[in-house]
Amino acid sequence: MARHDVFEMQNQNYKAPCGLESRFSFELVVNFSCAILKLYHHLMEFFDFIKSFGFVRIFGLSLPIGLTKFNKTNSMLTFKAPKTLIILTSLILTCTYIQAEEQGKKVLVAEVEEKSFQAQVPIFGNLVPFKESRLSVKVSGYVEKMHVDIGDQVKKGQPLLTLDSIVAQTNVRQIKALQNEANVRLNEANRLATEGEQLRKDHNISNSEYLTRIAEQQASGSQLKQIEAQLNLAEETLSRHTLKAPFNGIITAKLTEVGEAVGSDTQVFTLTQLDPIYVQIQVPSRYYATINKQTQVLVDSNNHSLAPMTTGIDRIVPQADQALRSFLVRLRLENASGQWLPGMNVRSRFLIDSNQGEHTLFLPKDALVRKPDGRILVYKIVKNGQSHAAQSVAVVTGVQQGQGISVNSPQLKAGDQIVIYGNESLRDGDTVIPQVRQSSKDQDQ
pLDDT at 254: 94
pLDDT digits (tens, 9 = 90+) for 18-51: 333 333 444 555 566 667 767 766 666 665 655 5
Interval 200-229 mean pLDDT: 87
345 CB neighbour count, 10 Å cutoff: 10
> 209 versus 41: which is more confidently predicted?
209
Is 70 exceeded by the pLDDT of residue 252? Answer: yes
* Cα(208)–Cα(194) distance, integer angstroms: 15
pLDDT at 269: 95
Q: How many domains does the chain contain in total?
A: 3
Print the domain residue range for 185.
165-240
CATH number at residue 374: 2.40.420.20
Is 70 exceeded by the pLDDT of residue 215? Answer: yes
Interval 287-306 mean pLDDT: 82
pLDDT at 67: 39
The answer to whether 238 and 169 are in contact (CB under 8 A) is yes
Interval 415-444 mean pLDDT: 77
Handedness of CA 401, 404, 407, 412 (dihedral sign): negative
Percent of the chain with pLDDT over 70: 71
Is 90 exceeded by the pLDDT of residue 134? Answer: yes
CATH number at residue 208: 1.10.287
Cβ neighbourhood burial of 431 (10 Å; 0-12, 13-18, 19+): middle
Is 90 exceeded by the pLDDT of residue 88? Answer: no
pTM summary value: 0.51
Within-domain flag for 226:
yes
* Cα(340)–Cα(333) distance, integer angstroms: 9
Domain end marker among 49, 72, 103: 103
Residue type, 372: P
Spatial CB neighbours of 148, under 8 Å, sequence gap ≥ 6? 154, 158, 160, 161, 251, 254, 269
Spatial CB neighbours of 297, under 8 Å, sequence gap ≥ 6? 310, 311, 312, 313, 331, 348, 349, 350, 351
Within-domain flag for 76:
yes
* Cα(224)–Cα(357) distance, integer angstroms: 77
Within-domain flag for 297:
no
Is 60 exceeded by the pLDDT of residue 13? Answer: no
Within-domain flag for 126:
no
How far is CA 181 from each of CA 173, 174, 175, 215, 219, rounded to the nearest angstrom?
Answer: 13, 11, 10, 18, 13
> 233 versus 99: which is more confidently predicted?
233
Within-domain flag for 271:
no
Interval 71-88 mean pLDDT: 46
Within-domain flag for 336:
no
Domain end marker among 54, 74, 103: 103
- Which has the closest alpha carbon to 17: 8, 30, 7? 30
Q: Mean pLDDT for the chain?
A: 78
- Which has the closest alpha carbon to 68: 86, 53, 85? 53
Is 50 exceeded by the pLDDT of residue 65? Answer: no
* Cα(131)–Cα(375) distance, integer angstroms: 50
Interval 144-166 mean pLDDT: 94
* Cα(150)–Cα(136) distance, integer angstroms: 15
Residue 80 and residue 10 share a domain: yes
Is 60 exceeded by the pLDDT of residue 85? Answer: no
Whether residue 284 is preceded by a cis peptide bond, meaning omega within 30 degrees of 0, is: no
How open is the CA angle 159-162-163, to the nearest 5 degrees?
155
pLDDT at 44: 66
Domain end marker among 224, 240, 256: 240
